[in-house]
Amino acid sequence: MATSASASLSKTIKQQYMELPQGDKVQAMYIWVDGTGEGLRCKTRTLDFEPKSIKGELQSLYAPEIAVQTEPYDPHHGLKKCNSYSPRPLAELPEWNFDGSSTYQAEGSNSDMYLIPAAMFRDPFRKDPNKLVLCEVQKYNRKPAETNLRIKCSKVMEMVVDQHPWFGMEQEYTILGTDGHPFGWPSNGFPGPQGPYYCGVGADKAYGRDIVEAHYRACLYAGVNICGTNAEVMPAQWEFQIGLCEGIDMGDHLWVARFILHRVCEDFGVVASFDPKPIPGNWNGAGCHTNFSTKEMREEDGLKAIEDAIEKLGKRHEYHIRAYDPKGGLDNARRLTGRHETSNIHEFSAGVANRGASIRIPRSVGQEKRGYFEDRRPSANCDPYSVTEALIRTCLLNEEGEEPTDY
C-alpha cells in the first residue's frame, strides 16, 4: 500500500519547532469548502491576540468610535486604515481573501473570493491558543459562492429556532493508501468477506485504529461535538458520530470533524475517502445517516409528529435524493441499490428498526412513542448544510414539490 512521502519526514524534528514559544501571537487556520462541494481548503494567518468569539468589540487605532474595516486585508502590509465608522462591533476574526481560480470557484480574470469567519474551534495540531476557523465563501460581488450552502441553511434554521431541531450525523469513511487501495487490504486481492469487521477487535479485523483514535481525541480537544466511533462492515471502513447539535451547528461541527480527519490522515500518510461506494461489488458503501428530532417529537406522544414528518418526506423523495449528495443523486445511485443495508434510490420506505428502509424509526422510539427518526439516504460525501436544510424545509416548513421555496 502506498503512503505519502510527507509521512516519512521526521515528526521528532518537526516537534522541536512546534515547541518553540510563539509570544503573544496566535495562528488562525481559515477553512472553507471549495468549488467541488466536497473538498476542503485552508490557510493560516497571524493574529495579535487570542480571539474569544467570532464577533467581538475591538477599539479602532484611528478613532474613538468602533470602526468597521471597509478595505480588504492586504497580506503584505496588514490591515489598512479604516475609513468609515459604524456602531457595529468589529469582528475579532477579520475577513480574508483567496484565489478562487485555484479552488474551482472563480475565473482567473476575477479571482478574489472573500472568507467570512462563521465558527471557531481550538486547533488540535498547533494547540492552544491557536484556532481553526470555519468560513463561508463570498464572491467578488459579496454574493455567496455556489458551494456556500451554509448561508441558506442558516436562514432556514432561524425560521424554526422555536422548534429546537436536533441533529446527529453518522459519518462513514474509508481509509485508503495514496494509490487508492484500501488500507490493510492485500495488494493483489481482497480480504475475507464481510462479517467479522463491524465493531471488530484484533489486527485481522480492525484496519487503521490508530487513525480513528487520533481523530477522536483531536475532535474532543477542538471542541467538536463528537459522540462516538466504530469500525464498519467493510474492512478499512469506519464511522464517527457528530451530535447532538442544534440548528446550524450540525453542519459546522461535521465539516470541521472532516477537516480534522483529513489532517490526521495526512500525518499518517493515508487518505480519508467519503466516496459513497469506494469499492464496487459485494462490499458496503458509505453513508451519512442523519438523525433528526424536534421539541414536539421528543415530548410525550411525539411519535405522531414523527409519523407526520415521515409522510411529508415520502411525498418529496426525489427532492431529498438530489439534496443528499453533491452530484444531485448520481453518487448515491451507486450506493442506494436496495442491497448492503440500503434502500432503493427510486423508492421511499420507512419502518421500525429496518436498516433497509429510507427512514428508520429506532425500536426504542416505537416503544416509548417519542424521540427521533433516522434518514438513511444521505451519502458519505453529502453537504450537511444541504441535508439538514432539506429536512427542515420538508418536515417543519411544510414545503412541497421538487424545488425549495425562496424566502
Residue 90 is predicted with a pLDDT of 54
Residue 54 is predicted with a pLDDT of 86
Strand 350-352 with 359-361, pairing: parallel
Residue 189 is predicted with a pLDDT of 87
Residue 405 is predicted with a pLDDT of 93
Q: List the chain residues with pLDDT less than 70.
A: 56-91
The single-letter DSSP state of residue 142 is S
Burial environment of residue 351 by CB neighbours within 10 A (0 to 12, 13 to 18, 19 or more):
middle
Mean pLDDT of the residues in the chain = 90
Which one-letter amino acid corresponds to residue 295?
K
Residue 92 is predicted with a pLDDT of 86
Strand 26-33 with 131-138, pairing: parallel
Straight-line distance from the first to the last Cα atom of the chain, in angstroms, rounded to the nearest whole number: 50
Of 126, 47, 123, 125, nearest to 92 by C-alpha is: 47
Q: Using CA atoms, how far apart are residues 131 and 4, in angstroms rounded to an integer?
A: 26
Residue 77 is predicted with a pLDDT of 39
The DSSP secondary structure of 372-387, one letter per residue, reads -EEE---BTT--HHHH
Which one-letter amino acid corresponds to residue 100?
G
Residue 58 is predicted with a pLDDT of 38
Q: Using CA atoms, how far apart are residues 11 and 264, in angstroms rounded to an integer?
A: 13
Strand 373-375 with 359-361, pairing: antiparallel
Residue 46 is predicted with a pLDDT of 97
Q: pLDDT digits over 244-278, tens only?
A: 999 999 999 999 999 999 999 999 999 999 999 99
Residue 63 is predicted with a pLDDT of 30
Give kind and range of the element (H or E) at residue 18. Answer: helix 11-18
Residue 127 is predicted with a pLDDT of 97
Those residues with Cβ within 8 angstroms of residue 381's Cβ, 6 or more apart along the chain or in another chain: 38, 274, 275, 276, 288, 325, 326, 331
Residue 56 is predicted with a pLDDT of 56
